[in-house]
Amino acid sequence: MAALLRRWWVIVLVGLIAGAVAYELSNRQTKQYQASSSLLFLTSNLDQELLGKSVVDTTDPTRDAATNQALVELPTVARLVAQRLHISSGRVLSDVSFGSDASSDVLPVTATDENPVMAARIANAYVQEYIVFRKTAALAQLNAVLALIDSKLAAIPSAKVNGTVGLTLITEKNELDLLKSAQTGNAQVVGTAGTPSSASFPHPSSDGLLGLVLGLLVGGTVVGVLALRDQRIKTVAEVEELYGAPVIGMIPESRTLRGPRAVGTSREQEAFRMMRAQLRYFDVDHDIRRVAITSADVGEGKSMISLNLARAAARGDEKRTLLIEADLRRPSLGRMIGVPAAPGLAELLSQSEDLPSSLRELVVTPDLTDELDAPPRFDVLLAGTLAADPVELLESRRMVELLDHAGSEYDLVVIDTPPIGVVSDPIPLVHQVDGVIVVSRMGRSRRDHAARLTKQLRGLNALVLGVAMNSFQPDSTNAYAGYYAEGYYAATPRRGSRSRTQARPDRSR
């Protein structure tokens, strides 16, 4: 239902297109006109009734109706109509249709033609020619019987013509002559077709309306099916339901958050400040000092979020923050902050020198001097040289000692890990940190991958602190996103510094 409401314009567009196409196709079709006449079938015993004879009706009405229907549809009648109207019998057969009702003696005969006048002429000619056809057949039968009677009378001697046999034959002959003069073919016209004034086909308006309705149904079905097949996460509610954890950061889509000098907009800054604040007050009895950032897939933006979370912590807390790049397969923080990648974490874990002194030598500090109101700097431990066996290094005793030492030296340690849903490297770190933050990218992360990661984290008994929603698209329902409007921080100078509007432009953009 949410997908249907979100894509309502697609459904309406498909409906309008389908309606317009149906209307246009219907309007382009050749107009057809219908005219109808009607035949009344008389009883088969009418001849005897006209002569005043008492007749017991033993006929089957259903059978009579079927017989009359078959006689009307004979090609012979169509040929008679074609000869009368000087058209082809094929045109007559294709134009004429018949009603069918076994309970009625009235049969409608309908002619459909491109010419309204010809439609009426065909319908009227058909019923008239049928009556002529039936009457001709009946007269031929009567004439045959009369000829037989005449031959019998001629064979009777003159002296016996007035006898019993002769008088009987003369009586029958008179009766047959009466029937011959009153012959109707057992049918008569009870409805005459008039020239139709409007086309019976096509119906552009009704066809267009039907096309619109069908288009709406098809559009809704397509949108619904695509929504069911689409595994991408599109709402905050989906994220919270899939991971069973709250969204603690709504990071808007941005290209200004990468690099050591990237300040970002006020809304982007506030998103990370909100994220840091929720970590600080996650549990008053649980001090969150070491946080692992991971995701279900690559390309979710976890390194960017790790970098800016560390930056927000350094700005807001004015305490020491360390960012550790634990992705030993595809490191990217060095490019983001403009620092050579080696040496780093891989070298620190593989060597046997004193850990504190080695850490001090390998830690780098991003250059933030271009900001007039430079915040306290945070430290970064890059991944270093690509390791042959990252899992072995990350689950080593030295990694445990490193995190313990970093937790005692720094107020917040942010660990950028590989995606747990893709590789097993960060699994050893799950129980060495105070909690895990999952990064999900709106419109890209998949529900099935998120469900698999949730099952994996629950199996590891990991503490999921929350979800950072990357590429968040704010709307009218997101009061948080609209409260800190662009320019709020720009118009508010910081203590002891010039306002943001007076700062030099960010060269990293």
pLDDT digits (tens, 9 = 90+) for 176-190: 777 777 777 788 888
Asked if the model's pLDDT at residue 124 lies above 90, the reply is yes
Residue 494 has a pLDDT of 37
Residue 356 has a pLDDT of 80
Residue 263 has a pLDDT of 53
Res. 79 pLDDT band, cuts 50 70 90: very high
Question: What are the distances in angstroms from CA 496 to CA 156, 373, 374, 409, 411?
Answer: 149, 8, 11, 29, 25
Asked if the model's pLDDT at residue 501 lies above 80, the reply is no
Asked if the model's pLDDT at residue 325 lies above 80, the reply is yes
Asked if the model's pLDDT at residue 35 lies above 90, the reply is yes
Residue 372 has a pLDDT of 44
Give me the percent of the chain exceeding a pLDDT of 90: 18
Residue-wise pLDDT tens digits, 381-437 = 888 887 778 888 888 888 998 899 888 888 889 999 988 878 888 888 888 898 899
Asked if the model's pLDDT at residue 139 lies above 60, the reply is yes
Across 135-154, average pLDDT: 84
Residue 265 has a pLDDT of 65
Query: Which of 169-173, 243-247, 470-474 has the least mean pLDDT?
Result: 470-474
Residue 172 has a pLDDT of 83
- Strand 290-295 to 412-416 pairing: parallel
Res. 367 pLDDT band, cuts 50 70 90: low
DSSP 328: S
| Percent of the chain as helix, strand, coil, to the nearest 5 | 50, 15, 35
Residue 171 has a pLDDT of 82
Please report the domains of the chain, with CATH numbers, ordered by start residue: 30-201 (3.30.1890), 236-486 (3.40.50.300)
- How confident is the prediction for the chain on average, in pLDDT? 79
CA distance 34 to 8: 41
Task: Supply the angle between the helices 164-181 and 116-155 in degrees, to the nearest 10.
Answer: 170
The better pLDDT of the pair 212, 486 is held by 212
Across 107-115, average pLDDT: 92
Q: 0.85 exceeded by the pTM?
A: no
Residue-wise pLDDT tens digits, 422-466 = 888 888 888 889 889 998 888 777 888 888 888 888 888 888 888
CB of 292 within 8 A of CB of 399?
no
Closest by alpha carbon to 420, among 311, 329, 315?
Answer: 329
Residue-wise pLDDT tens digits, 235-292 = 788 888 888 888 888 888 765 555 545 555 677 778 888 888 888 777 656 778 899 9
Asked if the model's pLDDT at residue 495 lies above 50, the reply is no
Res. 296 pLDDT band, cuts 50 70 90: confident
Give me the percent of the chain exceeding a pLDDT of 70: 83
CB of 277 within 8 A of CB of 269?
no
CA distance 386 to 388: 7
Residue 145 has a pLDDT of 84
Closest by alpha carbon to 466, among 474, 457, 478, 475?
Answer: 457
Asked if the model's pLDDT at residue 485 lies above 70, the reply is no
Residue 113 has a pLDDT of 92
Hey, what amino acid is at 13? Answer: L
Handedness of CA 128, 129, 132, 134 (dihedral sign): negative
Asked if the model's pLDDT at residue 314 lies above 50, the reply is yes
Give me 273's structure tokens: 């400040």
Question: What are the distances in angstroms from CA 114 to CA 33, 38, 81, 307?
Answer: 6, 21, 18, 77
H helices within 327-422, ranges in order?
333-337, 345-350, 355-362, 390-394, 397-409
The better pLDDT of the pair 107, 377 is held by 107
Across 309-324, average pLDDT: 80
Residue that has been written with the tokens 């809704």 in this structure: 220
Give kind and range of the element (H or E) at residue 464: strand 464-472
Residue 138 has a pLDDT of 83
